[in-house]
Amino acid sequence: MTAAGGQEGQGRGHGTVARPGRVLARLGGWIAGAFLAAQPLAAQSVLRPTDRPAGASPVVVELFTSQGCATCPPADEMLGDLARIEGVLPLALHVDYWDYIGWRDTFGSPIFTARQQAYALAAGERMVYTPQIIVGGRDRVIGTDPLAVMAYVNARAARPEPVAVALLREGESLVIEGHAVLPFARPVVVQMVRFLPEVRVEITSGENAGLSQDYVNVVTDWRLLGEWDGRAPLSLRVEAAGAEPVAVILQEPGPGAILASAVLR
């Protein structure tokens, strides 16, 4: 099922795009049933404030989603549960490759589509789909499997951190400081993310026509600030105007594993 020729979906760039509404059908529908039977994520989580050292990085959970995807609303709601768990930084990245099927995602961006495609390429995968969750830049899971998501979150939270990063607002600027235990084998990528904590969208056409959907931590900007080799402390000052929360993510190239993150709300 390739993107070329309009067989099931039309994507941008490399790889295959799975038609929304078809992913769960191909997997026999067991994921949807598991989601409906699951307890709320906040109740399932074993993460507690005392489990995380003071100043520890939150675990970054990226949800690739679309307002035009019929199977995405449960994953969007699950992200809201994740946002209530201390020690987790869930981020919603709205892709634009389903815009042609009847509803143009109000937050969809080719930048987020390209990021998902880069993850697929790094993993040797030929297909991108929604909803997809990537935990810590490494662990990939279909976005409607809360038990798998929490297992990956807890596993990432238990790992030692090779680097610490701290943020400070000074007027319209953001000061970023980082310290690495050892220099990195390859320089890490320093990224700044802006997001909307909460927004409601009335969807009037497409597969989710008539739906009033609440979204959390909707990414509005994902910016590459540079690279850092870890040999000397990281010290950056960048413009970060506006009231939107800001996060900084240090990630191995590829994109690969996320080594550290910090957020100011």
Residue 56's pLDDT is 84
Q: Edge-to-edge, what's the strand order for the sheet holding 211-228?
A: 139-142, 132-135, 59-65, 88-94, 211-228, 188-203, 246-251, 258-264
Considering the chain, what is the average pLDDT of its residues? 85
Domain ranges of the chain: 4-161+194-220
- Read off the pLDDT of each residue in 197-211 and give the average, rounded to a whole number: 97
Tell me: pLDDT of 23 over 90: no
pTM of the predicted model, to two decimals?
A: 0.85
Q: 42 or 156: which carries more pLDDT confidence?
A: 156
Beta strands in 49-186 (DSSP E): 59-65, 88-94, 127-128, 132-135, 139-142, 163-170, 173-180
In the predicted structure, residue 100 carries a pLDDT above the cut 80 = yes
Confidence of residue 21 (pLDDT cuts 50, 70, 90): very low
Tell me: pLDDT of 15 over 80.
no
Is domain 4-161+194-220 in CATH 3.40.50.720, yes or no? no
72-82 CB burial, b ≥16 within 10 A, e <16: bbbbbbbbbbb
